Structure 1
Amino acid sequence: MILFFGTRPGKSETKFLQGVSCPYCNQMGTLSAFISSNYFHLFWIKLFKISSSKVVECNHCKRVYYPDEFSEEMKSATN
């Protein structure tokens, strides 16, 4: 019997963080969160989530923030 299993990325989600200002340029409402997840699959059917990654980008100054750089406002808005 042949088993097809592995990991695959799921759909990426974009979330606009309203009411949160960029710590670098202090512009309000310009942050976008990009959330992507990886799933374990068996016969191309997603079974469970393995990992997820979050990145926040400012649309004004183009600064990118990784989870260890998130402010408290960013953490609460992305959860």
Structure 2
Amino acid sequence: MILFFGTRSGKKETKTLYNVSCPHCGQTGTLTAVSQPNYVHLFWIPVFKLKTSQFAECSHCKRGFYKEEFSPEMERAI
């Protein structure tokens, strides 16, 4: 019997963070947060969620922020 298993990325969820200022340039309302889950799959069917990757980007200064770099203000908005 042959089993096809592995990991695969899920669907990206994008959210604009209104009333949150960028920690780098100070502009308000320019941050966009992206969340993408990773799944373990069996025969291309997702079985369970492994982890979720999160990052944010400022559309003004183009600075990216990993989850570890999120300010408390960004954490509350998500």
TM-score > 0.5, shorter chain as reference: yes
Letter in 2 for 1:40: V
> What SS does the corresponding residue of 2:37 show, helix, strand or coil?
strand
Q: Which residue of 1 aligns with 2:16?
A: 16
Name the residue aligned to 2:45: 45
Equivalents in 2 of 1:2, 1:70: separation in Å? 43
Question: Take 1:48 and 1:66, find their aligned partners in 2: how far apart are those partners?
Answer: 24
Aligned residue in 2 for 1:4: 4
Identity over the aligned pairs, expressed in percent? 60
Q: Does 1:57 align with 2:54?
A: no
Give 5+ residue unaligned stretches, structure 1: none
Structure 2 residue runs of 5 or longer lacking an equivalent are none
Runs of at least 4 residues off by over 6 Å? none
2:67 pairs with 1:67: yes
Instruction: Give the superposed CA RMSD.
Output: 0.9
